Amino acid sequence: KRPISVWRYKEFLPVRIEPVTLQEGGTPLYHLKKIGEELGLPNLYAKHEGMNPSGSFKDRGMTLGVSMAKQLGKNIVACASTGNTSASMAVYAAKAGMPAVVLLPAGHVALGKVAQALMHGAKVISIRGNFDRALEMVHELCVTHGIYLLNSINPYRLEGQKTIGFEAVDQLGCVPDRIVLPVGNAGNISAVYKGLCEWRDVGYIDTLPMMTAIQAEGAMPVVNAIKGNLPEVVVEQNPETVASAIRIGAPVNAEKALRAIRETKGCAESVTDEEILAMQRDLARYEGIGVEPASAASVAGIRKLAEQGMLDPKEKIVCVVTGHLLKDPETVIKQCAPPIEIDPTIEALLSVL
Ligand SMILES: Cc1ncc(COP(=O)(O)O)c(/C=C/C(=O)C(=O)O)c1O
């Protein structure tokens, strides 16, 4: 019996060579008992994608993307990133012995992610612009210089990310009624939807979960398109949110995401930075689950939908929490009271307990 992991599902994956792998996937599906009780949702779960090799779900896409780069005989891989894509690509390119180039929006990438891209040997370029501009630039670089582009416009990235849904169904023992994801470039929600459609088409499952997109209030083109019943998203020029991973105004996979939400009668909701940070703290303190701010948005969105009476209490809900808490330590330090510093004596210690 194959262990729960990305390559357990190799028959649904397009790579035929020996993959570049770091045993990605197989992430835990946690029952959110306390937060579920608070919200009247006894079947609320979180799939902790921060437990992947590089600490985010991007590893699922990169094991495919970098394997494909190798299969296609590419020499260099590149991406623009709000951080986790670049961290993951650096890790898998290192494993494959392939040079990597990453473009990051200067001043808006969480410390842990920059540390990973640097330590794993990528050429890290920080541009004076936002993620959307970085993506335009790396796209042009790849087209003009034959470099392999590994952003989520690369279909092989999404192939690997399909496995989040496969694992959730295998772990839950049934198809969840709803899968909730934080949405930035909208690759992940599109990938999970595509995978479960494939399982329905081959008769593995006969229902699809309601695909639910959660965005930060300062960066919510998909939410606006769904709530405004628009045919396509209106690009936001100046996306802003503390959840830097989803600070994206022009999601390249928007069309796929709108289809995923609409065809499954899902929904899209926004949450404020305060609601995101409150949920990041609650997941850590009540459930022992440490995630970066963007990841907490999915559960923060469920709290909001529950409070608005939009959810059936019987729903089986899987929230994808997408990246590890350690990715963005600076935001945590800013949110928390500092450690209490004392003289090295027991008396001093007892005086502060
Ligand atoms: C923690 C975390 N949570 C959610 C998302 C949104 O996923 P998509 O909607 O598929 O983009 C990201 C995305 C990050 C990047 O886009 C990048 O790293 O360049 C993330 O890092």
Residue tagged 């896409």 (tokens): 61
Number of residues that make up the chain: 353
Task: Pick out the chain residues at pLDDT < 70.
Answer: none
| C-beta separation of 161 from 185 below 8 A | no
Mean pLDDT across the chain = 97
- Determine which residue's CA is closest to atom 14 belonging to ligand 1: 245
pLDDT the model gives residue 1 = 84
Cα–Cα distance, 252 to 339 (Å, whole number):
42
pLDDT of residue 16: 84
For residue 187, the ligand 1 atom closest to its alpha carbon is: 10
- ipTM reported for the complex surpasses 0.95: yes
Q: CA–CA separation, 332 vs 260, rounded Å? A: 33
Query: 99 near 130, Cβ under 8 Å?
Result: no
Task: Kindly state if the Cβ of 85 falls inside 6 Å of ligand 1.
Answer: yes
Cβ-based neighbour number of residue 335 at 10 Å: 13
**Structure confidence by residue, pLDDT tens digits, 119-164:** 999 999 999 999 999 999 999 999 999 999 999 899 999 999 999 9
Instruction: Give the pLDDT of residue 70.
Output: 95
Q: Which residue is closest in CA terms to ligand 1's atom 11?
A: 185
The confidence score (pLDDT) of residue 170 equals 98
**Residue 84 · residue 62 · CB < 8 Å:** no
Residue to mutate (ligand 1; options 48, 84, 193; most atoms within 8 A of CB): 84
pTM for the whole structure: 0.97
Any atom of ligand 1 within 6 Å of the Cβ of 168: no
Q: Is the CB of 159 under 6 A from ligand 1?
A: no
Give me the sheet containing 317-321, strands edge to edge. Answer: 29-31, 44-48, 317-321, 178-182, 210-216, 267-271
Distance 55 CA to ligand 1 centre (A): 12
